[in-house]
Amino acid sequence: MRLQGLLFALGVLLSWCLPGIASAADLRAEVAIDRETMGIGETLALTLAVTREGRGPLPEPELPNSVTENFDVSGCGSRQSSQTHLVGNSIRMVHTRATECSLLARREGTFKIAFSVSDGHQTFNSNLVEVAVSAAPAVPTASAPGERPSEAYGWAFLWATADRERAYVGQPVHYQLDFYYTQDRRRRFGAALRAAPSFQEFMFSHELPAVEPRIEEVDGVAYSVETISRRGLIAASAGTYVVSPAEIEVRGKGVVRSAPVTIEVLPLPAEGQPPGFAANNVGRYTIDASIDRTTLKVGQPATLTIQIAGTGNIDLVDPKPWPELDGLRRYDPKTETKRDTGERLGGVRRYEFLVIPERPGALTIPTHELHFFDPEVPGYETVRTVAIPLEVEGTPLVDQNPETPGTASAKTEDQSDTASDGDLPLIPIIAAEALPRTAVVEPWLTFARWSYGMLAVPLLAGLSLGGGFLWRRFGPDEAARLRSRNRARRRSLIDKARSAVRDGEGFHTAVATLLQELAVERAGPEGVGLPRLQLAALLGRRGLQSTEIAQWERLLDRCDRARFGSQAPPVHGGSSDPSAPGGRSNDSQSEREAFLEDALKWVRSTSAWPGAMR
Amino acid sequence: MGAQHVGMARSDAMRANSASLSWLIVVAILVPSIARADAVDDAFVRGNQAAQAGAWNDAVSAYEDAVAMLSRDNALLSFNLGTSYAELGELGRAMAHLSRAASSSNEPSPEVLQSARENLERVQRRIELQSAASGAMLDPPPTSWEAVMSALGAPVLAWLALLSGWAFLVLLLARLWRRSIQDAYDGVIGAILMVLAILFIGLGSLHWAAIRSNRVAPKAIVIENMVPAREGPGHHRKQEFVLQGGSRVRIVANTPGWSQVRLSSGVEGWIPQASVGLLEGSRIPPPSTLSGAPVARKT
């Protein structure tokens, strides 16, 4: 078995090695291009490959001179790969080493491309390919300022334009560079800006807000358009200015260029120029003044806002010195500039002054003029603010800061500025001989106590409601409460009888009431108000033994005798009202004690009655 | 007899000794506090004299000495100290001390209260002026919501909520125990219980929220004149804005040496802890050096 396994492994190894050894000398060089014709500025993909069947070193292909002399080479990369082919019973291994480059044609003509590699003593030549390079396509140029392209320029082109060819010093010129490319051959993600337009000749170059990508149809061709650059360009001196061309390379396609843009800058005319005119004030502006309040008190600060708005180089607008404000103190302004996000260079420049009236009365914020050169006219213009009247109340500040004898209002040198800064003087310190000590009583209701008190309320309310619920659920019912009341009444009557044993006053009444109520309780609701005989009969029907009924009647009769004497009502058929008034009995205390014991014995026996309520 | 006499004399002597000892203890307890009271008064008077002479730095030093010796704020002392700071141009500290002088918890006299309020108003005006001139951020004027929250934190509201709760509880228990009352006045008692419950829950919740907001984010005043507020604790962190001294802020977080403050507009930033003083409680730190400061730059 072991021998068989060894032979099998050897067989597999030989079948793998022998074909490779057989084809070791098969080396092949090959050149490939992705197109045979191209224009100057377009790119060509070149591949140089060396392939060997079987094992052995793979030489690296080198670019031939015909390529390096006539093309710009970029983006070269090398790769190796191996393939296994099963042909009949044999396995063939093919190894490939390839170099890929991007070629940009420099000149017109037809160029042959081939290369060779050597493998030891042998040289292998590749196939020969030819590329015909034609002249560069025309760079699209706008014939008029701001013109849009009217002719399609192939798969992609750059369109550079300015909104004017001629401008004045300080006048913004709006430059825009758009990249047009056809949608079906879009390779935008592979595009790179090779050369950006240069604005160095201009003194100011403000970037304008970007424009969203869009689709434009040019001469029947739909192009995707992306704005590469939008600038507001301002020249500081007269002359001819040129924005250099831009270049964009699209990987695998080529390079597109824009046309240079030339602008002639004219000096500002001397005619009509206001004296001291600021050369940066070129554009079209408005000026406006406002104040946050027109009725003030002396020393009360207010905010005066002067706003210059319009198109032009708003950042450099020079408003010239602000006028003096009579009766008002003015501080340095806070300046804020907001550029427009629209098509034109412009915006709003805002000056916020803090002003403080120093004297009462009718004051005025005077007008302020702004001179500017309007290139659209062209000519010099003047705009001005409207005067703002103010009503100021109070007394002049200088009179409100007297030196009060005996107070601490004397100022050091440093404070003299502070005192004259438009404020009322401070109330002086209170000079006492000693510091009054007040025993400040801490409030009883601290936050902790308050919290505990507040939390206790729902807690106790919950406990109460829960307790009430449990009492109703598990506490005594109505019958139990009735029994409880009866027992209490009974105990009360017994106590009353006991207390009356000594002098006999009310003794028999209490005992009679006790006996009667017990009998009625046993007899039930039907027994209420019955004469004694009917009650006794009813008790008999309720199951009481005759001896107990007789004992009850005997006890009641004795009570009646004691209470009413010879006028005692007849036992049979008489009223059973135990609460009828009765006088003091003539029996002795011992007799009453004995009688009470008898009555209590009967009372105790009632607890054993059938159906007695406990 | 003789022995009895000796014993009585000895007990008298012991009684006299213990009385003397008691006196000594009382004196020993009282003398330091009396001495301290004198020292406070001395410092206070010294401050008054310096202030009347216009030596505000000396006045502030003397008043700060007096403050350091007292265990709690004194309205008159806080007023004089705040006024002195205002005269020096230390408007943030002036605002803080004057606020304490006007605080009802310090029971100011009517004269002190009135003077403190007036000086507070004037210092506030100077602060607004400084802020407008420097561009430093100042807390916006108090909103009506803040006034409501302040009112909700008043003790009277606490009492009202608490008493409503307990009245509710008593009435509820009476209703549970006395069914006869419930039967006779069921509607009336129910309505009263409802009102009391609403008062208890509503006022209690609002008062709790007001107190809690004060505890979680206590009120404070920026005591330095211009304080850069940064995006995090540390001088290396980016400066977000500059806070005007005297701004009322709330301290929402603390790290060693730094406090995160929030203005009523919601803007937040980190400033050094020494630049901010609580409106109530701990002592307001005095400045390291005293100097007058210009209020605004005139053009």
Q: What is the pLDDT of residues B150-182, one digit of tens each?
A: 788 888 889 999 999 999 999 888 887 776 555
ω into A581 cis (within 30 of 0): no
Dihedral (Cα; A188, A193, A198, A200), 10-degree rounding = 120
CB A183 within 8 A of CB A252: no
Q: Which residues pair with A542 in a beta bridge?
A: none
Average pLDDT value for residue range A180-206? 75
Using CA atoms, how far apart are residues A595 and A603, in angstroms rounded to an integer?
12
Chain B neighbors of A433, CB-CB under 8 A: 41, 45
For B54, the closest of A330, A408, A460 (CB atoms) is A408
Residue A82, Ramachandran bin (φ over 0: left; ψ between -120 and 50: alpha; else beta) = beta
How many angstroms separate the CA of residue B292 from the nearest CA in chain A?
6
Here the ipTM equals 0.71
Q: Supply the pLDDT for residue A18.
A: 45
Chain A neighbors of B112, CB-CB under 8 A: 430
Contact status of A581 with chain B (Cβ, < 8 Å)? no
Indicate whether A580 pLDDT > 50.
no
Indicate whether B2 pLDDT > 50.
no
Contact status of A453 with chain B (Cβ, < 8 Å)? yes
Per-position DSSP letters for chain B, written without gaps between them: -HHHHHHHHHHHHHHHHHHHHHHHHHHHHHHHHHHHHHHHHHHHHHHHHHHHTT-HHHHHHHHHHHHHH-SS--HHHHHHHHHHHHHHT-HHHHHHHHHHHH-GGG---HHHHHHHHHHHHHHHHHHHHHHHHH--B-PPPPPHHHHHHHHHTSHHHHHHHHHHHHHHHHHHHHHHH-HHHHHHTHHHHHHHHHHHHHHHHHHHHHHHHHHHHHHHS-EEEE-SSEEEEESSSSTTSPEEEEEETT-EEEEEEEETTEEEEE-TTS-EEEEEGGGEEESSSSPPPPPSS--------B-
Angle between helices B75-88 and B91-102 (to 10 degrees): 160
How many angstroms separate the CA of residue A331 from the nearest CA in chain B?
5
pTM of the model: 0.45
Residue B142's contacts (CB-CB under 8 Å, 6 or more residues apart) are B248, B264
Q: Which residues pair with A49 in a beta bridge?
A: A30, A98
Q: How many CA atoms lie within 13 A of B153 on its CB side?
A: 15
Residue of A nearest to B37 (CA): A435
Q: Supply the pLDDT for residue A183.
A: 67
Q: For an interface test with A, which of B64, B176, B178 has the most A Cβ atoms less than 10 Å from its Cβ?
A: B176
CB A259 within 8 A of CB A140: yes
Q: Supply the pLDDT for residue A404.
A: 34
Contact status of A329 with chain B (Cβ, < 8 Å)? yes
Contact status of A460 with chain B (Cβ, < 8 Å)? yes
Using CA atoms, how far apart are residues A364 and A351, in angstroms rounded to an integer?
18
Residue B277 Cα to chain centre, angstroms: 10
Q: Encode pLDDT of B36-58 as tens digits.
A: 568 888 899 999 999 999 899 99
Using CA atoms, how far apart are residues A308 and A332, in angstroms rounded to an integer?
17
CB A523 within 8 A of CB A542: yes
Contact status of A412 with chain B (Cβ, < 8 Å)? yes
| Nearest of B241, B258, B261, B259 to residue B249 by alpha carbon | B261
Q: Is A513 helix (H, G, I), strand (E, B) or coil?
A: helix
| Nearest of A494, A488, A490 to residue A597 by alpha carbon | A494
Taking all residues of chain A, what is their mean pLDDT, rounded to a whole number? 80
For A430, the closest of B115, B166, B168 (CB atoms) is B115
Query: Number of residue pairs across A and B with CB atoms under 8 Å?
Result: 168
Higher pLDDT, A587 or B291: A587
Indicate whether A503 pLDDT > 60.
yes
Q: Supply the pLDDT for residue B195.
A: 93
Is B133's CB within 8 Å of A331's CB?
yes
Residue B221's contacts (CB-CB under 8 Å, 6 or more residues apart) are B92, B95, B96, B99, B246, B247, B248, B249, B276, B277, B279
For B176, the closest of A406, A431, A464 (CB atoms) is A464
Is A414's CB within 8 Å of B125's CB?
no
Q: Supply the pLDDT for residue A574.
A: 43
Contact status of A406 with chain B (Cβ, < 8 Å)? yes
State both tokens at B76: 């008159």
Using CA atoms, how far apart are residues A349 and A340, in angstroms rounded to an integer?
11
| Nearest of A226, A194, A231, A202 to residue A213 by alpha carbon | A226
Q: Is A505 helix (H, G, I), strand (E, B) or coil?
A: coil
Is B126's CB within 8 Å of A418's CB?
yes
Using CA atoms, how far apart are residues A456 and A292, in angstroms rounded to an integer?
54
Place of tokens 């006790």: A514
Q: Supply the pLDDT for residue A13.
A: 57
What sign results for the dihedral spanned by CA atoms A296, A301, A305, A306? Answer: positive
CB B284 within 8 A of CB B223: yes
Indicate whether A3 pLDDT > 60.
no
Using CA atoms, how far apart are residues A389 and A402, in angstroms rounded to an integer?
30
Using CA atoms, how far apart are residues B14 and A9, in angstroms rounded to an integer?
122
Residue A347, Ramachandran bin (φ over 0: left; ψ between -120 and 50: alpha; else beta) = left
For residue A521, give the H/E element and its range.
Answer: helix A507-523
For B122, the closest of A301, A424, A460 (CB atoms) is A424
Using CA atoms, how far apart are residues A62 and A70, in angstroms rounded to an integer?
16
CB A323 within 8 A of CB A366: yes
Using CA atoms, how far apart are residues B158 and B147, in angstroms rounded to an integer?
17
Using CA atoms, how far apart are residues A100 and A116, in angstroms rounded to an integer?
16
Q: Which residues pair with A106 in a beta bridge?
A: none
Angle between helices B110-134 and B91-102 (to 10 degrees): 150
Angle between helices B186-216 and A447-474 (to 10 degrees): 140
Q: How many CA atoms lie within 13 A of A219 on its CB side?
A: 10
Q: Encode pLDDT of A450-459 as tens digits.
A: 999 999 999 9
Residue of A nearest to B193 (CA): A461
Is B79's CB within 8 Å of A454's CB?
no
Higher pLDDT, A506 or B297: A506
Using CA atoms, how far apart are residues A169 and A493, in angstroms rounded to an integer?
126
CB B208 within 8 A of CB B149: no
Residue B55's contacts (CB-CB under 8 Å, 6 or more residues apart) are none
Chain B neighbors of A460, CB-CB under 8 A: 169
Is B292's CB within 8 Å of A410's CB?
no
Higher pLDDT, A411 or A349: A349
Helix, strand, coil fractions of chain A, as percent rounded to 5? 30, 35, 40
For A332, the closest of B168, B172, B299 (CB atoms) is B299
Using CA atoms, how far apart are residues B129 and A302, in angstroms rounded to an integer?
10
Question: What's the alpha-carbon Rg for chain A, to the nearest Å?
Answer: 61
- Report residue B89: phi and psi, to 5°: 90, 5
Chain B neighbors of A454, CB-CB under 8 A: 161-162, 165, 200, 204, 208
Identify the band that residue B80 occupies on the pLDDT scale cut at 50, 70 and 90. Answer: very high
Q: Encode pLDDT of A287-306 as tens digits.
A: 999 998 888 888 788 889 99
Q: Supply the pLDDT for residue A9.
A: 65
Q: Which residues pair with B222 in a beta bridge?
A: B276
Indicate whether A309 pLDDT > 90.
yes
How many angstroms separate the CA of residue A266 from the nearest CA in chain B?
38
Q: Encode pLDDT of A534-569 as tens digits.
A: 888 888 888 888 888 888 888 888 888 887 765 545
State both tokens at A610: 């059938």
Residue A406, Ramachandran bin (φ over 0: left; ψ between -120 and 50: alpha; else beta) = left
Identify the band that residue A341 occupies on the pLDDT scale cut at 50, 70 and 90. Answer: low
Is B56's CB within 8 Å of A303's CB?
no
